[in-house]
């Protein structure tokens, strides 16, 4: 159960977004924020899950609603997933947050600081998550270390060139797993579009445990209001 929670948390990290484009030309926008909260905006993503022997392809859409929700004193905007459920994203100053629930027994809620758009390339921040896991009498601490790898770059995704993109890398660690746990999570954010691309690589080989995650997500099209 401890392993599954870490794996599910890693997958959750790859879903922070709300973004989209419209055609194969370079998007233009006057919005410098990396979060779009306009109701009716939609983002279509394609996901390739290569965790198993046979890659699995899937498509889904994220839609911005007209609703906000206050969580832990912070106002989150609500987005709908086409496959069911909601995504909650917030902007506070230059800090971007995602609130989500990891679907283990009883649910584990996490509030994650996934982007700081005022940091220079090379700057980093860490966040500890104390996860309560069934049948374990103490919290399990998982540390996410985030780094601004590149800033103000151009990035082409699905034939569309985005400018002023921020590239964030995230690695996970836990003191309870002394070896055999590697992670590489890379996310790319564009102004007004949010997440345009992400890749999540997790490998866990510890004692009798063996897990692998290899997921890539790309923004395919977007209709911004």
Residue appearing with tokens 């911004």: 224
**Structural domain includes residue 108:** no
The verdict on residue 135 lying in a domain is yes
Mean pLDDT of the chain: 82
- Is residue 206 included in any domain, yes or no? yes
Does 87 reside within a domain? no
pLDDT tens digits for range 21-50: 333 333 334 357 999 999 999 999 999 999
- When divided into structural domains, the chain yields a total of 1
Look at phi and psi of residue 122 and say left if phi exceeds 0, alpha if psi is from -120 to 50, else beta.
Answer: left
Q: Is the full-model pTM beyond 0.75?
A: yes
User: Is the pLDDT reported for residue 18 higher than 50?
Assistant: no
199, 220 contact by CB (below 8 A): no
pLDDT for 138-154, tens place per residue? 677 888 999 999 999 99
Percent residues over pLDDT 90 in the chain:
56
| Residue 151: inside a domain | yes
In a domain, 82, yes or no: no
For residue 72, being part of any structural domain is answered with no
Q: Examine residue 65 and state whether it is found in any structural domain, yes or no.
A: no
pLDDT of the residue at 162 = 97
Q: Which domain holds residue 42?
A: 2-60+120-223
E runs forming strands in the chain: 42-49, 56-71, 74-81, 86-92, 95-102, 108-116, 124-131, 140-157, 160-173, 181-190, 194-206, 209-223
């Amino acid at each position: 159960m401890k392993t599954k929670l870490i794996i599910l948390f890693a997958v959750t990290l790859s879903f922070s977004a709300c973004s989209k484009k419209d055609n194969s030309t370079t998007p233009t926008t006057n919005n410098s924020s990396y979060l779009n909260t306009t109701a009716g905006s939609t983002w279509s993503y394609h996901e390739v899950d290569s965790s198993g022997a046979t890659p699995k392809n899937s498509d889904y859409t994220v839609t911005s609603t007209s609703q906000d929700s206050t969580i832990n004193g912070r106002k989150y905007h609500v987005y709908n997933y086409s496959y069911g459920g909601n995504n909650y994203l917030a902007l506070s100053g230059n800090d971007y947050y995602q609130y989500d629930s990891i679907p283990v027994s009883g649910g584990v809620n996490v509030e994650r600081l996934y982007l700081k758009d005022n940091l220079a390339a090379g700057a980093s921040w860490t966040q500890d998550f104390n996860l309560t896991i069934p049948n374990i009498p103490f919290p399990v601490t998982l540390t996410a270390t985030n780094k601004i790898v590149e800033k103000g770059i151009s990035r082409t995704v699905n034939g569309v060139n985005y400018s002023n993109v921020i590239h964030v890398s995230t690695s996970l660690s836990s003191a309870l797993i002394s070896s055999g746990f590697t992670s590489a999570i890379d996310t790319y954010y564009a102004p007004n579009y949010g997440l345009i691309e992400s890749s999540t690589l997790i490998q866990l080989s510890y004692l009798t445990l063996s897990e692998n995650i290899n997921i890539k997500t790309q923004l395919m099209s977007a209709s911004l209001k």
